[in-house]
Amino acid sequence: MLLGMSNTAERLFELPVETFATPPKSLVRAVGKAIGDYQLIREGDRILLGLSGGKDSLSLLHILRHFQRHAPIRFEFAAVTIDPQSGAFDPSPLIPYMEKLGVPYFYVREPIMRLAETHMDNNSYCAFCSRMKRGLMYKTAREQGYNVLALAQHLDDLAESFLMSAFHGGQLKTMKAHYRIDAGDLRVIRPLVQVRERQTADFAKAAGLPVIMENCPACFDMPTQREQMKQLLRAQELGNANLFKSLATAMRPLIRDGLDDTFE
């Protein structure tokens, strides 16, 4: 059943038809450890997953369902997709897929590409798009009564951000596993912070998840700093099998930097 919510958002519910995929034990262990280490999920949390349709967020969708069924902590979760209305990226095939899974789902349409032409000020399109998407996810969470936003960045993403910050910004920073946003009303969690990108890729392929490839010209026409870091890490890992284990240890204080007394 499709319930219209506004000019830009739709809420979808359907009795489960499609079955959830069971994540491999290696993924479950890594996510379970992150949940414990960084206090990601609390009793009674209502979690909204940012679902782009990529391999990482689709994998996290099925992982959250696994923990909802098997973890001793009770929590609810839903998903939100932000459709930037770009000709190069169409996430709408997620709508029937999510209907069949029966997960509460919010599909938000916003002409981000067009807005960038008139509102972007001394910034990259990617940064503008990311900020707009995050704001729309916050808005949806608030309107629908969810107190936690789950994002699907993994260990490779964190390592790339760490190097970019050190190389180009002169700072030791990366994405946090768990923090409260400045407004104070929402928490953001990243359950995949101890998961490698190849693990989500393997799971998505083995489970036949309906991955949607993002093909935005603004992001992919030219090599980015992030892609350069990815290539650098790939080359270094060829000669050091423990590279990401060492990086995870080095980044741990930065990853848990968002934890403070407000979570107690």
Q: Per-residue pLDDT for 116 more than 70?
A: no
Q: Distance from CA of residue 211 to its chain's centroid?
A: 14
For the chain, the residue count is 264
**Closest of 101, 91, 95, 59 to residue 204, by C-alpha:** 59
Q: List the single range of 32-36, 47-51, 57-61, 213-217 with lowest mean pLDDT.
A: 213-217
pLDDT 10s digits, 140-198: 999 999 999 999 999 999 999 999 999 999 999 999 999 999 999 999 999 999 999 99
Query: What pTM value is reported for the model?
Result: 0.88
Distance, in Å, from the CA atom of 1 to the CA atom of 98, rounded to the nearest integer, reads 11
**Closest of 230, 213, 249 to residue 156, by C-alpha:** 230
Identify the CATH assignment for 25-256 out of 2.60.120.620, 3.10.560.10, 3.40.50.620, 1.10.10.10.
Answer: 3.40.50.620
145-163 burial code (b ≥16 CB/10 A, e <16): ebebbbbbbbbbbbbbbbb
Please name the amino acid found at residue 220. Answer: F
Report for 18-22, 88-92, 177-181: range of highest mean pLDDT: 177-181
Hey, where are the domains in the chain? 25-256
Q: Per-residue pLDDT for 139 more than 50?
A: yes
Distance, in Å, from the CA atom of 111 to the CA atom of 21, rounded to the nearest integer, reads 33
Q: Per-residue pLDDT for 223 more than 70?
A: no
The residues facing 108 across adjacent strands are 9, 82
